[in-house]
Each structure stands twice: as structure tokens, then as C-alpha cells.
Amino acid sequence: MATLIADDPAWQAAYESLSGGMAAVSAELGRFEPEPMPADVIARLDAALASSIAAPTPISAEPAAPRRPT
């Protein structure tokens, strides 16, 4: 995304129009007290992360060749 923002004027304009709002939202959210996560959600997350499906697949350190549009 950083490349799109740096290279595309439309993306840059969108980013600039949103960045001030993001700071305001962060400030407002910072005024709330932390909300504890419900126990059932914790249990479901623990189960999901413990499953074999969640086992990480190694990613090659070699950069991928750029794809060309078809």
C-alpha cells in the first residue's frame, strides 16, 4: 500500500483525507476503558489457534518474481 500511496495521486489524496480522521478516532477510542474479552471468545480463539489448520506454513525468504498483468 505504501507504494500505491507514494506513486498514485488518487491513493495519496485518499490517504491524506483519511489520516486526520484516523488520529481523531484513535484519540476518542483512547478515552474508553479496556473491555475484557468474553471467556467464550477466548476459548474459541484458543481452540482455533491450537488446531493443525492454524500451523504456520514456512514462507520462502526469496522474493517472488513480479507478476505481469495478463
16-46 burial code (b ≥16 CB/10 A, e <16): eeeeeeeeeeeeeeeeeeeeeeeeeeeeeee
Cell of 69: 498483468
pLDDT band at 66 (very low <50, low <70, confident <90, very high): confident
Higher-confidence residue of 56 and 17: namely 17
Please provide residue 31's backbone torsions phi and psi, each rounded to the nearest 5 degrees: -80, -15
Half-sphere exposure at residue 53, Cβ-oriented, CA atoms within 13 angstroms: 4
Confidence band (pLDDT; 50, 70, 90) for 56?
confident
From 21, 19, 41, select the one nearest 29 (Cα to Cα).
Answer: 21
- Which pTM was predicted? 0.38
| Digit-coded pLDDT (tens) for 14-50 | 988 988 888 899 899 999 999 999 999 999 999 988 8
Confidence of residue 62 (pLDDT cuts 50, 70, 90): confident
